[in-house]
């Protein structure tokens, strides 16, 4: 099996780049679960190539935190901790907040209309809550507010951190569904601030804190569950 050959900006991908994409997809889809060993010789046989490009791809994945190298064991798919999750959420809040602020002067009425409609769909879900659908709409909502950001690298970093969150395969709203209602209200406020041409620095502050509140709600839920475990039923 050989990774599908692709191109980037018309340039044919190298074997290392093809392998990186292939391995990353295996990790993202959990076909390669956390802890799975990435044996060079086995991968070389599977992909019908030498170990050199495979080693390069694994080094790139290691730099991104998706692969961990252990002495006397080799490369394994990383088992990301809760701390890593919250660190990533904080990064998303900082990056996305700034991207939103930079995007504000370039947003069109259609962009805001799309954001408003997406938030309306999220609001309708509150009565029959579906966390995964809510999360997908939430990403589309925030994309509508920051996709006009003129700093392309900043937008790329936001998506990189989103991809890292996807690795956890968790919808925060599954654990703190009560946060969803407040999130919808804060979305209304963000749209109103943009329409009122509020100071971009203030919009950044609000967008950043909006994301951080979701993270804090999840952290509080974990803390509560740890310090107040369910009582055992009477025998």
* Structural domains of the chain sorted by starting position, each given as residue range(s) with its CATH number in brackets: 7-77 (1.10.10.10), 82-227 (1.20.120.530)
Reported pTM: 0.70
The enclosing H or E element of 103 equals helix 82-103
Q: Specify the residue for token string 């370039």.
A: 106
End-to-end CA distance of the chain: 56
pLDDT in tens, the chain (235 residues): 556 555 555 578 899 999 999 998 888 777 888 788 999 999 999 999 999 999 999 999 998 888 988 888 899 988 766 788 889 999 999 999 999 999 999 999 999 999 999 999 999 999 999 988 999 999 999 999 999 999 999 999 999 899 888 766 566 787 788 899 999 999 999 999 999 999 999 999 999 999 999 999 888 877 776 555 444 333 2
pLDDT tens for 39-68 read: 999 999 999 999 999 999 999 999 888 898
Q: Specify the residue for token string 């930079």.
A: 102
Q: Name the residue among 182, 157, 185, 160 with its Cα closest to residue 172.
A: 182
């Amino acid at each position: 099996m050989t990774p599908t050959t692709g191109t980037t900006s018309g340039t044919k991908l190298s074997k290392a780049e093809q392998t990186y994409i292939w391995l990353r997809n295996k990790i993202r889809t959990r076909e390669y679960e956390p802890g799975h060993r990435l044996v060079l010789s086995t991968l070389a046989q599977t992909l019908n190539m030498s170990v050199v490009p495979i080693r390069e791809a694994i080094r790139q994945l290691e730099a991104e935190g998706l692969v961990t190298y252990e002495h006397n064991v080799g490369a394994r798919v990383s088992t990301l901790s809760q701390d890593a999750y919250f660190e990533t959420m904080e990064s998303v809040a900082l990056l996305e907040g700034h991207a939103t602020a930079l995007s504000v002067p370039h947003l069109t009425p259609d962009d805001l209309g799309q954001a408003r409609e997406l938030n309306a769909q999220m609001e309708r879900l509150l009565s029959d809550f579906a966390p995964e659908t809510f999360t997908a709409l939430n990403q589309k909502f925030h994309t509508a507010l920051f996709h006009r950001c003129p700093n392309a690298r900043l937008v790329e970093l936001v998506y990189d951190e989103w991809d890292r969150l996807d690795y956890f395969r968790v919808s925060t709203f599954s654990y703190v569904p009560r946060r969803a209602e407040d999130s919808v209200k804060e979305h209304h406020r963000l749209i109103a601030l943009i329409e009122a041409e509020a100071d971009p620095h203030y919009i950044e502050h609000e967008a950043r804190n909006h994301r951080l509140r979701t993270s804090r709600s999840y952290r509080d839920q974990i803390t509560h569950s740890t310090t107040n475990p369910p009582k055992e039923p009477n025998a």
